[in-house]
Amino acid sequence: MNMLLLPVAFPLGLAFVALAVNAAWLGRWLVAAAGCLMAAVGTLALVDNLAGTIPTVAVGGHAAPFGIALAADGLSSLMLVVTGLLSWACASYRFRDSHERSGSSHALTLLLLASVSGSVLTADLFNLYVWFEVMVLASAGLLALTGDPGRLDGVIKYTLLNVVGAAFLLLGVALIYGITGTLSFADLAARPRGVSDPQLSGAVVVVLVAFLLKAAAFPLFFWLPASYPTLGFATAGLFSGLMSKVGVYTLYRSLLTLFPDVLVEVNPMLVVLSIATMLTGVLGAAAQHDVKRILSFHTVSQIGYLMMGLAIATRDAVSAGLFFLVHVIVVKSALFLVGGVAAQFFGSAELRDGGGLLVRGRWVTVCFGLLAASLAGVPPFSGFWAKLGLIVAGLDAGHAWLVATAVLTGLLTLYSMTKIWQTWFWRETPEALALSAPPGVGLSCWALFGVVLLFSAWPQGLFSVAQSAATQLFERAAYVTAVQEAQ
Amino acid sequence: MGVMLAVLSGLTVAGAVYCMLARDFHRVGVGVMMLVSATNLVLVAAGRVMGRAPVLVGDASVRRAGEQLGNPLPQAFVLTAIVIGIGVIALVFALVRALDQERHRLDADGSSEEEEQ
């Protein structure tokens, strides 16, 4: 069995096992195992990519172009590794709410992991739609299972917006099929460049609307801050690293590999949307006083940075964008998890209910403080290298507005993080907690923190991987041949 | 045939959008149903499923002389889309029902207060 089938089939099958056995410990082990498997397959594929080959497999043995192929080029392998690591961390997290321990929540998480693996590995547009729908259904189920009393409002908004987005995707896929006659990534990428087809551009824009909605771009991001704060910290960390980043992956894949001509045409719109996403996300976060809401809005503004890498569209910008993608997935989820440790101590996620962690919980302080500095882009952490890469690429390409917005957003992110620091860490402990100590941070948070430190101290490693992945995205011939000759 | 499908899908999407902008969530659910149907119609139209013969492998006697085989790939797409649409509709209506039950129990709409922050 080819290794690329494992990250998709394994969680899919185990979801039913988790549901049938319905034991909390088994479910956790299965999710952690699925995460490790995804990371392992991703690493093997990445090693292949760095050596110059793209592993592929034709599902069911059906040959191209009618069969569905799975292909792992640089971008897909990177996504697999990081999301696998993230899934392991969220499954091993110590503080899970009661609803996060039920058999159905583990089954839904496994389905979510299968759909994420499927989305990043598939080389067929209709198969991508199918995995998107699985993602919507699994995540809507997870949202509905949380115990938060305000959750139904958030779930309905999330579900309706994502269902409309998926319908847009199907519509666009139908139109693309009608115009080009094929839905295989290889055939779409192999079409001659420079031939402008307004019909096809229109169909691609319909598909882009769906991807932008999934990626939580302005003005389609409101489902994110409406629904994420109702989740427990572990699930919120998982969602923030998986859902919108798959949307970003599909944006990069469709505009760089499949339809590079359309990228030139929609470039002005992308620039405006990334500026708007960065600003609305960070300004929304500045107005919140609940840590989950603050972090949810920051997720949106970081998506703006990722779109900036795509909007600049040079090789340097895309490789900086890929570095940023890996960095933000790890840092964002780690912030959710460590924030959960602090919230566990205070008993609530509101800023006004906390205080005194600088004195009483030094390890929590170290972990959260450095992660927050990394998110805000303070040197010498990974966020600084990521943003520096994007800013330098932007200046080289002449995008003054994008660069100015990126810098301003970084400053406003620092403001939000300082607000959390000042309430939860700097000021006095509330009297009710004066005699207790906060819990230990836990292995999963330290693992993610270690990865962030690795990227901060040695960014060249990740940068070279990101650059080779970006090169593979721009030079499509290798991808096309690999998929067309899939066995 | 193509024109009829195009007009039909356009009208269905218009109806779907009209329903999805309604205040009552039941209407929104009906709108989702219409949207799913409309996208399936577009799939049929774009796939140009022209032939009349069914896609049966191996039994040549089923096809009458001169009949063209219908394009099987878009038929597969539409089948998948219909089944996925059924799942989505079921989920939306389950959520609408849960919202109904919660509102009757809770009397005040406590959930939207958190949204207004």
Res A409: pLDDT: 94
CA distance A262 to A267: 8
**Whether B77 and A177 lie within 8 Å, measured CB to CB:** yes
Dihedral over alpha carbons A281, A285, A287, A291 (to 10 degrees): 160
Number of Cβ within 10 Å of residue A282's Cβ equals: 25
Tell me the average pLDDT across A312-333. Answer: 94
CA distance B27 to B16: 9
CA distance A466 to A455: 12
Number of Cβ within 10 Å of residue A460's Cβ equals: 8
Phi-psi region of A313 (alpha: psi -120 to 50; beta: other; left: phi over 0): left
- In A, which residues are within 8 Å of B42 by CB distance? 171, 174-175
Q: For residue A183, what are the contacts with CB-CB under 8 A and spacing of at least 6?
A: A124, A125, A126, A173, A176, A177
Angle at B12 between CA B6 and CA B15, to 5 degrees: 145
Please write the tens of the pLDDT for every residue from B12-61.
999 999 999 988 889 999 999 999 999 999 998 888 876 666 666 666 66
Whose structure tokens read 């989820």? A333
Tell me the average pLDDT across A411-419. Answer: 92
**Whether A178 and B48 lie within 8 Å, measured CB to CB:** yes
Dihedral over alpha carbons A410, A324, A421, A378 (to 10 degrees): -60
Res A295: pLDDT: 93
Tell me the average pLDDT across A213-241. Answer: 89
pLDDT band of A112, cuts 50, 70, 90: very high
Q: Which of B84, B96, B115 sits opposite A130 (nearest CB)?
A: B84
**Whether B88 and A126 lie within 8 Å, measured CB to CB:** no
Res A114: pLDDT: 96
In percent, the amount of chain A with pLDDT more than 70 equals 98
Chain centre distance of CA A392: 23
Residue bearing the bigger pLDDT, A359 or A97: A359
- In A, which residues are within 8 Å of B84 by CB distance? 130, 133
Q: Which of B32, B73, B111 sits opposite A153 (nearest CB)?
A: B111
**Whether A177 and B110 lie within 8 Å, measured CB to CB:** no
Residue of B nearest to A152 (CA): B99
Tell me if A128 sits within 8 A of A254, measured CB to CB. Answer: no
Taking alpha carbons only, the member of A455, A461, A295, A458 closest to residue A383 is A455
Taking alpha carbons only, the member of A107, A114, A110 closest to residue A22 is A107
CA distance A262 to A248: 16
Tell me if A128 sits within 8 A of A122, measured CB to CB. Answer: yes
Whether the pLDDT of residue B64 is over 70: the answer is: no
Most confident among A147-151, A255-259, B49-53, B108-112 (mean pLDDT): A255-259
Whether the pLDDT of residue B4 is over 60: the answer is: yes
Angle at A193 between CA A188 and CA A195, to 5 degrees: 105
Interface TM-score (ipTM) > 0.90: no
Res B52: pLDDT: 67
Q: Which of A153, A170, A178 sits opposite B115 (nearest CB)?
A: A153
CA distance A180 to A446: 49
| Token couple for A326 | 């890996």
Interface probe with B: pick from A59, A136, A163, A199, most Cβ of B within 10 Å: A163
For A457, the 3-state DSSP assignment is helix
| Token couple for A274 | 């990334």
For A380, the 3-state DSSP assignment is coil
**Whether B88 and A288 lie within 8 Å, measured CB to CB:** no
Q: For residue A127, what are the contacts with CB-CB under 8 A and spacing of at least 6?
A: A68, A118
Res A1: pLDDT: 62
For A90, the 3-state DSSP assignment is helix
Residues in chain B: 117
Chain centre distance of CA A354: 29
Res A52: pLDDT: 87
CA distance B17 to B32: 9
Residue bearing the bigger pLDDT, A314 or A441: A314
**Whether A144 and B95 lie within 8 Å, measured CB to CB:** yes
> How many CB pairs below 8 Å do chains A and B form together?
85
Chain centre distance of CA A485: 30
Dihedral over alpha carbons B65, B67, B68, B73 (to 10 degrees): -110
Tell me the average pLDDT across A133-152. Answer: 86
For A57, the 3-state DSSP assignment is strand
Res A231: pLDDT: 87
Res B108: pLDDT: 44
In percent, the amount of chain A with pLDDT more than 90 equals 59
Largest CA distance in chain A: 71
Res B65: pLDDT: 62
pTM of the model: 0.92
CA distance A341 to A368: 10
Whose structure tokens read 């009209």? B18
Whether the pLDDT of residue A360 is over 90: the answer is: no
Res A147: pLDDT: 67
Whether the pLDDT of residue A198 is over 50: the answer is: yes
Instruction: Please write down the long-range contacts of A281-285, taking CB distance under 8 Å and 24 or more positions apart.
Output: A281/A221, A281/A409, A282/A409, A282/A412, A282/A413, A282/A416, A283/A412, A284/A225, A285/A412, A285/A413, A285/A416
Please classify residue B68 by burial: count the beta carbons closer than 10 Å to its beta carbon, then call 0-12 exposed, 13-18 middle and 19+ buried. exposed
Res B66: pLDDT: 63
Tell me if A234 sits within 8 A of A96, measured CB to CB. Answer: yes
Residue A265 one-letter amino acid: E
CA distance A74 to A11: 22
